[in-house]
Structure 1
Amino acid sequence: ALDRDSFNQLSKLDHFDGQHWTQINGPGVKTEALRATAQELHVFGDGVFHLSGTTWVAETVPGPATWLEYSDVGNDIFLVGNDYTTTPSTPRLAKRQAGTWSAIPAPATQTVCGIAALSANDIWVTGQDRDPNTFVYQATISHWDGATWTITKPANVTSACAIIANAGEIWVAGTGNGSILRRATNGTWTTLNGAALGDIRALVVDATGAVWASGDNGVIMHR
């Protein structure tokens, strides 16, 4: 569990061992995501940190960037974020393999915010562009095949961040009209109506392979 202050800094973490809760200090930086396994604990945001005993250790990651989300492939970690020190911001991707971080080419979109990696040569990234003339926002879904990025812009979806891979399909939650877009195995996008949720913020796959979506107003949808 995360305990953030008003500046989105991770001040405390709460851990439950099945019987008791214990609390430790956070790294004290803006934090966007937490990754916990049986072997290690990472936080991502303005930097990447792992917990060594009770001490947070900064890892060297190509950047600069505010890291927003991650995806695991075996023992490798894939990260997505943006460098907000530039105008406009610059998308960043990174990969950790055997304990070392390296940069990955980013798609030619204005921002990125979600990632689902199936392998080093099969990566899906969500993001957003804004038209400089109309100021209208447009969601982007980008696919990396190991050599090039292919960018899709789904109609009537202003932003898409939540993304998961499930049984050979890619699911993306879009905001603006509450739609969910599903990529079938033949590459065709099918739009599913999720308007009852308002803006959809998160997707998860359970142990049975079912997809759950959560949105505004505390609503949860199951498929």
Structure 2
Amino acid sequence: MRRPGALAATVAGFSAAAVLVMSPMTAQAAGADTTFTPIPPVNSGTMQLMSISPKSASDAWAVGVDYLNANTVIATRAEHWNGTAWKVTPTPSPTGNVDILNGVANISPSDAWAAGYSQNTAGTYSALLEQWNGTRWATAPGGKAAASSQETLNVVAATSPNDVWAAGEHFDSSVGGFVGLIEHFDGTAWSIVPNPDSYTSNGIQHSVPSWNAIVANSASDVWVASNSGSQTAVVEHWDGTAWSVIPTPQFTVLNGVSVNEVAVDGLAATSANDVWAVGTITGFGRHAPREQLLEHWNGTAWSVVSSPSGTATPQGLSSVAALSPTDAWALGFQPGTANPALQHWDGTAWSNVAVPSLSGALTELAAAPTSTLIALGNTQAFLSTNG
């Protein structure tokens, strides 16, 4: 979840943005023959980009925040990449206090959605939805349930102009706590769609406090995931009629220590039979062991996929993007550093892939259909093509 306190803690560490764009030809070429050219975003020292959504190598939206008045005001931020340069596009900041865009979905040159939240000076925060109509960004009213308050949206995905999903969390007074929030846009209005607010892990029922990852394949095939799990990854699926909890593998012991949490931080898919979930498995204790999570959905069940071997393998993964069943990428950090680490799936196994020298982290991957992979981070930006 990305509520105000969590974002404030990252301000010092993320003051700029980086973009790494790759157009993989084959698994081998993508790892061995990719070249990189810097493409710095606009006024990178004043902002943090949180999410990126490409339609191609020459059409991508990135959204996040702009720090104003010595970081006392946090405003929304949107930049568009046209294949040659970044352009900042004005976005509404309704409260003038804290207004944040966490996620973006690029549907067409005249249609995109961004989702996040606003926090007023009284400390109350509400869901924030903004739409691009080809000319400007404008706010749009979200759904509202009688028992819902303190709403935050973390992610957004779309399959068409009439099928857009946003997910996050809200305080539900009927249960007295935070639960996952899912909203849907049908082309006319946003509405809250009921979803299960609990799951079972190791025979114990747990609440779902938030959703932080989403992928939409079609109007009848959408997935959301949480990074607040127990001993199992928490995922739910939309089949066109209703949301339901889908069982995932159970984890009990990690390096001889009981598993404390299985967190999913990224989802990606190429079809209803090819969905990836990545994140981190953490054990109990002050010096708890950590290990990356790689799980795959084959259309019938989720299964654990082996991680690459070697000391360079990240201990956790923050994002995943899939271009085809034999071409998927996962992003993490090199062990003991803030330097990025990339992994590649060739249809058979995951392997570690070298990345260009960066003076900062990469945090998110996104893919345009079949051709372009973009990594988003801080301090630098890179454009890469295979020639």
Question: Is TM > 0.5 for Structure 1 vs Structure 2?
Answer: yes
> Which letter does structure 2 place at the counterpart of 1:8?
F
1:149 pairs with one of 174, 191, 206 = 191
Separation in 2, partners of 1:15, 1:169: 27
1:169 pairs with one of 221, 230, 234 = 221
Is 1:94 the equivalent of 2:135?
no
Separation in 2, partners of 1:11, 1:133: 40
Separation in 2, partners of 1:16, 1:171: 25
Q: Which residue of 2 aligns with 1:59?
A: 89
Separation in 1, partners of 2:12, 2:212: 23
How far 1:33 sits from its partner (Å)? 1.2
How far 1:54 sits from its partner (Å)? 7.2
2:80–2:88: 8 Å Cα contact kept in structure 1?
yes
* Higher Rg: 2
Q: Which residue of 1 aligns with 2:16?
A: 10
Q: Which residue of 1 aligns with 2:53?
A: 35
Report % sequence identity.
20
Separation in 2, partners of 1:174, 1:194: 15
* CA separation of 1:182 and 1:134: change in aligned 2, threshold 3 A: closer
**1:210-221 equivalences in 2 (<5 Å):** 210-216=274-280, 217-221=291-295
Is 1:191 the equivalent of 2:242?
no
Give the superposed CA RMSD. Answer: 3.1
Separation in 2, partners of 1:6, 1:194: 37
1:42–1:51: 8 Å Cα contact kept in structure 2?
yes
Separation in 1, partners of 2:108, 2:166: 18
How far 1:48 sits from its partner (Å)? 0.6
> Which letter does structure 1 place at the counterpart of 2:91?
V
How far 1:211 sits from its partner (Å)? 0.6
Separation in 1, partners of 2:241, 2:247: 17
1:182–1:192: 8 Å Cα contact kept in structure 2?
no
Separation in 2, partners of 1:198, 1:185: 27
* CA separation of 1:135 and 1:32: change in aligned 2, threshold 3 A: farther
The structure where strand makes up a greater share of residues is 1
Q: Which residue of 1 aligns with 2:113?
A: 78
* CA separation of 1:58 and 1:72: change in aligned 2, threshold 3 A: closer
Separation in 2, partners of 1:222, 1:116: 20
Separation in 1, partners of 2:236, 2:130: 25
* CA separation of 1:119 and 1:54: change in aligned 2, threshold 3 A: closer
2:168–2:210: 8 Å Cα contact kept in structure 1?
yes
1:183–1:190: 8 Å Cα contact kept in structure 2?
no
2:58–2:83: 8 Å Cα contact kept in structure 1?
no
* CA separation of 1:58 and 1:203: change in aligned 2, threshold 3 A: same
